[in-house]
Amino acid sequence: MRPWPGRPYPLGAGYDGVGTNFALFSEVAEYVELCLFDDDGTETRVRLPEVDGFVHHGYLLGVGPGQRYGYRVHGPHDPARGLRCNPNKLLIDPYAKAISNGLSWDEALYGYKFGAPDERNDTDSAPHVPKSVVVNPFFDWTNDRYPRTPYNESVIYEAHVRGLTIDHQEIPPRLRGTYAGLAHPVMIDHLIKLGVTAVELMPVHQFISDHTLAERRLSNYWGYNTIGFFAPHDGYAAMPLNQVQEFKGMVRALHQAGIEVILDVVYNHTAEGNHLGPTLSMRGIDNEAYYRLVEDDPKFYMDYTGTGNSLNVRTPHTLQLIMDSLRYWVTEMHVDGFRFDLAATLAREFYDVDRLATFFEVVQQDPVVSQVKLIAEPWDVGPGGYQVGNFPPLWTEWNGKFRDTVRDFWRGEHATLGEFASRITGSSDLYQDDGRRPYASINFVTAHDGFTLNDLVSYNEKHNEANGEDNQDGESHNRSWNCGVEGPTDDEEVVELRARQRRNLMATMLLSQGVPMILHGDEFGRTQHGNNNAYCQDNEVSWVDWSLLESNAELVEFTGALARFRKAHPVFRRKRFFAGRPIRKGEELRDIAWFTPAGEEMTEQNWEDDFGKCVVIFLNGEGIPDLDSRGMRVVDDSFLMAFNAHHEDIEVTLPEAEYGPEWTVVIDTTTGHVGNGEKPIVAGGQLNLTARSLVVLQRVG
C-alpha cells in the first residue's frame, strides 16, 4: 500500500469520501509508521512519507470509516532524559475520533520490563491496546439548534450516561446505559418535568480503567482516566463502532427538547499515569511535549492531579490539542459547554497557579470556545490549588464554598449565618470584584464526588469498604448529619426529619442567586449506602435506582415545582448582584433587606451572634436591575424567605407594612408545599417557623 503525501493539517485521521489523510505530531520522532488492522487483527504497516513542522503525514486512497489503526513511533528511548519512543508499542492517535476494542492489561503495555524499570521492553503491545478508528464525519443534524439558555435561566443536572439509564425499566434493554438510552423519550420527559435546562455529563471522552482496579475486579466507573480527547467512549454505544453517530443523535434529541449538553472534560492528565504506567499514546509519541516532567529528573512526572501525570499546557502543541478538541466537540458534536475537571492544573505554567495562564488567554480569544458555557472545577491537589473565585471573567465555577456553607447551616453549625447570607445571594465576595455576575457561581450541595443528597442527611461517616481501600479513600470531613441514626432506620421522627432536610437543601440551592446544579437521582432520594467515593462501583451502588421514583414521588414533584417557581420569578435568578440600596431616588425600600426573627432589621451585632440559625430576607421584585430580551425592565413580585436551622420552632414576626401589607406562604419545606397559600398574614403578624425549615412568602397586593 503506497501512501500519497497528504496534508499536515488537520491532525488525526480525516476521511473525505474517497480516502483518509493521517497526520501525527512528534518533534522527537525519526519516522512514524501507520499501522492498519483487519478484522482478524492482521497488521499492515505504512511509513508516513512526509514531515512538515514536525507533523508526519500521508494520504491513503480507499481507506474509509471503520478502519482500525494505530502508530509506531521510531525515535530515542532514554527515560532518564524524558524520551520514551519505542516502536514496539502500538500507540493510540491523540486525535482519534473513535477508539475501540478496549484494553487488556499485560506487561507488553509498558515501556520497561517488570522488575527492571530502566530496561526497555521490546514486547509488541498491539494485541492489548485499543485501536483508533476512522469515522464517517457526515450526519443529518436536521436543522439542529443550540438552545443557548442564558446562565441565569439555567438548571443543570449532573449525570452519568451509564449510571442514569442502566436500571431504567421503561428503556429498552439494548439501550440502557448508552447515549441512545439518555435520548429516550422517557428520560427526556423526566428532565423536562424537573425543569432541567442542561445535562452535565460525567466524562464521555474515551477512558480506560486503572490496572489496580482491574486487579480488584473493579473499574474506573466515573471515567476520569481519559485516553482520547476527541472520541466518545465506546462503552456507552448501543452498537459497536457507532459511538459517534449515537452521541450526535443524543445531542440532537436533547436539543429538540431545549436541553443543553455540557461535557465534564479531563484535560489535566491522561490514563498513561506516572513513570511506571503503560505506554498507550502520547508518552510514546512525544513525552516531553505532552507531559509536565520534573525539571531536575525528567524520568518522573509532575503530578498536580493525584493520578500520576499532568499535561504540559506550556507547550503549543498540547495547547493546540486541547483547543482542537474543544472546538471539535462544539462544531462537530454540537455540545453547549464544558466543565473542566481540576481546572487549576491548566493554570500551572510554572509552579503556582497563574490566573493569567496562556490556556485562559487562548480560550478568551477563540471565536468558538469562548462562546459556550465554561465551568471550572476551581481546584487541584497541588500547592495553592484551591482557587474558588479566582478564575477569569469568562468563566463560571463550581462553588465549593456554597456547598460547604449550606451544609453547615442546615446541620446547625454555629456562626455560619454571615457566610450563608453571602452564598445564597450569589457570592459577591468571590465574583463581583472582577466584573462577574451572580451566575458565575454554580451552586451545588451534592455532586458525583461525595455523598448523595439522601446520604448527606443519613450518614455521619463515609462507608467506602466496597472500594477495597480499607475505607481510607474519599473525603472524611463531609459536613453531613445523620439526623440521629447512622444509615437506614424505621424511626418515623428521623425519617420525617431527613425528608425535611432534603427539601431544605434542595430549596436553598434552587432559590439562591446563581446557577443550581442537581445530582442525578437526588430528586427521588438515590442512595450509595454511605459510599462517598463510588468512582469504581459500576453496579447498584452507583446506578440510579428508578424504583425510588414512585416511593419518593413527592420529592420529585417538590423539586420540579421549585424549578418552575424559580423560572416564573426572576427575582430568584437575577443577572446582577444585590446592592443593598433603595431602588429609586426618594424611596427607602431597598432591593434586599435582612430581619431578625423579631422583625427588626439585622445589625452588625446580630450578624456576629454565635446563635445565627434564623433569618428573614426581603427580596424586592421591583428592584431588579435587569432587562429582558426586548430591552424592557424586569419586574417581579416581592418575597420573604424565612430560614430556621434551629432544632426548635421559632415564632417569626413579619416586617412592618412598608415592605408589604400582607403575605401568603408559597413554599414550605415542612409540608413540601409549593403554590398559593391559604389565609394571608398581615404585616407585623406572626409566623410559626418549624424547626429546621424554610418558608417563602409572597407579597399580596
Please list, in sequence order, all residues whose beta carbon lies within 8 angstroms of the beta carbon of residue 371, skipping any fewer than 6 positions away: none
Nearest Cα to 642, choosing from 511, 498, 454, 495? 511
Per the CB < 8 A criterion, the answer to whether 620 and 590 are in contact is yes
What is the 8-class DSSP label of residue 590? B
Per the CB < 8 A criterion, the answer to whether 342 and 257 are in contact is no
Per the CB < 8 A criterion, the answer to whether 473 and 464 are in contact is yes
Torsion angle, CA of 233/234/238/240, rounded to 10 degrees? 160
The whole-angstrom distance between residue 412's C-alpha and the CA centroid of its chain comes to 29
User: How far is the C-alpha of 545 from the C-alpha of 552, rounded, in Å?
Assistant: 11
Per the CB < 8 A criterion, the answer to whether 357 and 347 are in contact is yes
Residue 38 burial (10 A CB sphere; 0-12, 13-18, 19+): exposed
Please list, in sequence order, all residues whose beta carbon lies within 8 angstroms of the beta carbon of residue 479, skipping any fewer than 6 positions away: 404, 407, 408, 411, 413
Active site residue 341: yes
Per the CB < 8 A criterion, the answer to whether 413 and 368 are in contact is no
Q: Residue holding cell 497557579?
A: 353
324 membership: H or E segment, kind and range? helix 316-331
Strand 156-159 to 198-201 pairing = parallel
Cell numbers linked to 115: 522488575
Nearest Cα to 43, choosing from 97, 87, 105? 87
3-state SS, residue 325: helix
User: How far is the C-alpha of 405 from the C-alpha of 444, rounded, in Å?
Assistant: 11
Which one of 264, 341, 419, 522 is the catalytic residue?
341
Which one of 93, 246, 377, 380 is the catalytic residue?
377
Active site residue 377: yes
Torsion angle, CA of 619/622/626/631, rounded to 10 degrees? 160
Cα-flanking dihedrals φ and ψ of residue 592, to 5°? -150, 145
User: How far is the C-alpha of 370 from the C-alpha of 363, rounded, in Å?
Assistant: 6
User: How far is the C-alpha of 23 from the C-alpha of 51, rounded, in Å?
Assistant: 9
User: How far is the C-alpha of 205 from the C-alpha of 223, rounded, in Å?
Assistant: 8
Cα-flanking dihedrals φ and ψ of residue 361, to 5°? -65, -40
User: What amino acid positions are annotated as catalytic residues?
Assistant: 341, 377
